[in-house]
Structure 1
Amino acid sequence: MNMLTAPMGWNSWDCYGAAVDEETVRRNAEYMAKNLKQYGWEYVTVDIQWSAPNAKNHEYDQFTELCMDEYSRLIPAENRFPSSANGKGFAPLAEYVHSLGLKFGIHIMRGIPRQAVHRNTPIKGTNKTARQIAKTDSICHWNTDMYGVNPEREGARAYYDSLFALYASWGVDFIKCDDIARELPQEEGELVMLSESLHSCGRDMILSLSPGPALLEKAELYKQFSNMWRITDDFWDKWELLYNMFERAEKWCVHSGAGHWPDADMLPIGPILQDYDKSIRTKFTENEQITMLTLWSIFRSPLIIGGEMTGFDEFTMSLLTNQEVLKMHSNSRHSHQVWRREMNGVEIILWTSVSSEGGQYAAVFNAGEKDTEVDISLSDLEIYNSVNGFELWSGEILSEVTSIKTSIGTHSAKAFYFYY
């Protein structure tokens, strides 16, 4: 598993909520393999409530009957994932995704199904039952599927061991575990137990924690027991949410590194909310989408596409296939905000990082409400000699410069690479 760089892939949530089905996953996997795999995009993840036969949109099917095996473990709903029939689970779908040269992921909720507790079903590998390991006062406040698991009870670890053994047998490469990132310190014991079970299952899997905002004071715990963790609640196509991400990124940037990545959440680009209306597309302007990809890339957030990929237009594809921007994402080290100040009556934000290949990146963001010109001395980046470079989005060549002189549109960004 390559954990030297932050994961890049697609997740079904922004498009289909709890209603994603197998045909949708296969269609998007095929598109990724054909059009994006060569640029580093590789994970295809099925989001929440894949075990609910009647889930129809972004609204959770609350207190619904879930599909479950005899050992208290949720399994895919066959009417939505027909290849899972006859006890095969996600193995056939994962095998198909792997055949395309991609990796397969699933969303899970922390804990054990409530219906397993109510029926007192067995736990594989032990004589304990769901009711004996459940922590029934530990519930998710926005989804009714699960109770927490009490890590101090005999049989609790056996439950998680059996869960990840099942996922390993399916060929899962990526686990997005929900209702756990911001639930610390109350659920710290369950996180540690879950992580240890995952890492002892015999298959490499990325562990992604949701929802955010994660707790900054728990950064070292996240880094020790997971690979990525959400620093925000669900991120949608609203400028105010993107604007607020600058503050989050500034606080979390020192915790990015090989194997552990603060996660700014999915990229709501192209067609989204397709379960409601096929005509819905992101409300972000093109400038705002450039800002989003620039910030996510220099900050080194995981890059997880949220849109229906088969509906991407030329501009959306240009965002996701810009090799220099993606190189900044993979090669940036020690990323941080340099300053945030007013210039010409406009709020300008300056970020920088060093490149693992030598040289230095800089990103300039216009967070204001009008187009503007900037003239930023390279001494602000601690570059004191004239240098050569180029702008990543346009490819504009810069020769023997001592400052960044450029125009930046409203809510837009420019990114630069300087070499010595």
Structure 2
Amino acid sequence: MVEKGLINHGWQYINIDDGWQGLRGGKHQGVMTNSKFPDMKALADEVHAMGLKIGIYSGPWVGTYAGHLGSYCDNAHGTYDWVEKYANEHYRYVDPTKQTKHSVNYHHGKYSFVKNDVQQWMDWDMDYLKYDWNPNDVYHVKEMMDALRSHKRDVVFSLSNSAPWGDASQWEKMANCWRTTGDIKDTWESMSRLGFNQTKWAAYTGPGHWPDPDMLVVGMVGWGPRLHYTRLTADEQYTHISLWALLAAPLLIGCDMAQLDDFTISLLTNDEVIEVNQDPLGKQGTVVKENESVVVYAKPMEDGAMAVGLFNRGEKPTKATVTWKNLGMRGEQKVRDLWRQQDVATSDVEFTTDIAPHGVRLIKVYPGNSRLQATSGR
């Protein structure tokens, strides 16, 4: 993140996912690290010294998705019966006989060690928590929120996964971000299905609470030792980043950062696109026009401008038009292409553009409606 220059464009959290956990112990009887992370505090100190922040992972089951210890236990003293029988050298649940399914750990145990684990993370100076299980429920979210907020440290509380929309008003109060979906894949079908179905969360989006349609699948991606270059075309990648920016979604890089190529870096370091995502007003872009394969999203910006994405979800090139009436804007406006970082038009009526299949034109319409007092004269 430092070497590739992303730190200079607002990227700041390095988050460890499932797989760091060893057994319970230490002075707090919290989950300690396994041999892959011999000194978590030293690692956090090193990350902080680079000007970055660090995150960690857990869940309120007795075991996590990858088969490591969670924040609950079936035994009061914090030992796990399955560890001796089925755990490998990294304390991951593995049944060599294939007779027992890993889902034996997918339940909430009788005893909570949430406070113990949080105290351990505070000792390690963690800045972010991904708390992962399904379905997310209010009880366990509030329990973790209370534990985190009982300390002074500023920790981002991120829920995963597929948070029920019926409890959106609760996630808005208790979590900083929450996964609205299952896992994304690097295909047009997956990315577009997830990305273009977030509008129902708009009422719950704002500073401090962000719906999360999952990570960015650009660059070298994979779910194991074998990585591959994203199956999204260049146009689909522009659509991916543009849509997540308009949605005010958390931007999480999901690729091997050591293998970032120039094109992927250009996608992740365009400051004018990032400004749309990070706008302080914190509004989620919503659909203002839809016609066959074309859908237009608009996101009000703090300075009165409007960020607009004209998307072509079809298989053929097409033209798209957005009018100032569609946007509720009046008077002469400039149109700025945010990917090219240049003004491309001036109009008091509309903007028309060609869009490639599965592509986008991401623009800013500015300066916006006048905020000065209007007076009439003879």
CA distance in 1, matches of 2:62, 2:335: 54
Aligned pair partner of 2:55 in 75, 80, 105: 105
Q: 1:77 aligns to what?
A: 34
Match for residue 149 of structure 2?
A: 199
Query: Which contiguous aligned blocks of 4+ residues in structure 1 show a shift greater than 3 angstroms?
Result: 31-34, 111-120, 141-147
Structure 1 position 341 matched with structure 2 position 291:
yes
Are residues 1:250 and 2:199 paired?
yes
- One-letter amino acid matched to 2:108: G
Q: Which runs of 5+ in 2 are unaligned?
A: 64-68, 82-100, 368-378
Report how many aligned residue pairs link the two structures: 338
Q: Deviations over 1:357-408 (max 9, x none)?
A: 2211111111000111223322111123221121101234234322121111
Aligned counterpart for 1:309 among listed residues 221, 232, 257 = 257
- Partner Cα separation in structure 2 for residue 241 and residue 118 of structure 1: 37
Please report how far the alpha carbon of residue 149 of structure 1 lies from its aligned counterpart in structure 2 after TM superposition: 4.8
Q: Shift in Å at residue 72 of structure 1? A: 4.9
In the alignment, which of 253, 264, 271 is matched to residue 213 of structure 2?
A: 264
Q: Report the counterpart of residue 148 of structure 1 in structure 2.
A: 108
Q: Percent identity?
A: 27
Alpha-carbon distance in structure 2 between the residues aligned to 1:349 and 1:246: 12
Give 3-state SS (helix, strand or coil) of 1:104's partner: strand
CA distance in 1, matches of 2:140, 2:264: 39
Structure-to-structure mapping, 1:114-153, within 5 angstroms: 117=73, 120-121=76-77, 144-145=104-105, 147-149=107-109
Output aligned runs, 1:3-402, within 5 Å: 31-32=1-2, 34-51=4-21, 66-69=22-25, 72-78=29-35, 80-82=36-38, 84=39, 90-112=40-62, 117=73, 120-121=76-77, 144-145=104-105, 147-149=107-109, 156=112, 159-180=113-134, 182-184=135-137, 188-212=138-162, 214-273=163-222, 275-278=224-227, 280-331=228-279, 333-334=282-283, 335-342=285-292, 347-401=293-347, 402=349
The alignment yields a C-alpha RMSD, in angstroms, of 2.4
Measure how far apart 1:193 and its partner are. Answer: 1.2
**8 Å CA contact retained: 2:310, 2:320:** no
Q: Which residue of 2 aligns with 1:405?
A: 352
* TM-score between both structures, scaled by the size of structure 1: 0.75
Q: Which residue identity lines up with residue 81 of structure 1 in the other structure?
A: F
Q: Does the CA-based 8 Å contact 1:387-1:400 persist in structure 2?
A: yes
- Flag the 1:399–1:284 CA change in 2: closer, same or farther, 3 A: closer
Residue pair 2:195, 2:244 contacting (<8 A) in 1 also: no
* Match of residue 135 from structure 1: none
Deviation at 1:201, TM superposition (A): 2.4
Aligned to 1:416: 363
Letter of the structure 2 residue corresponding to residue 172 of structure 1? M
Q: Report the CA distance between 1:145 and its aligned residue.
A: 4.7
Separation in 2, partners of 1:169, 1:69: 14
Alpha-carbon distance change, 247 to 417 in structure 1, aligned in 2, over 3 angstroms: closer
1:54-78 CA distances to partner (integer Å, 9 max, x unpaired)? xxxxxxxxxxxx4332665322112
Higher relative contact order (CA 8 A, sep 6+): 1
Q: Structure 1 residues 389 and 50, CA, compared in 2 at 3 Å: closer, same or farther?
A: same
Gaps of 5+ in 1: 1-30, 52-65, 85-89, 123-128, 132-140
* Structure with greater helix share of residues: 1
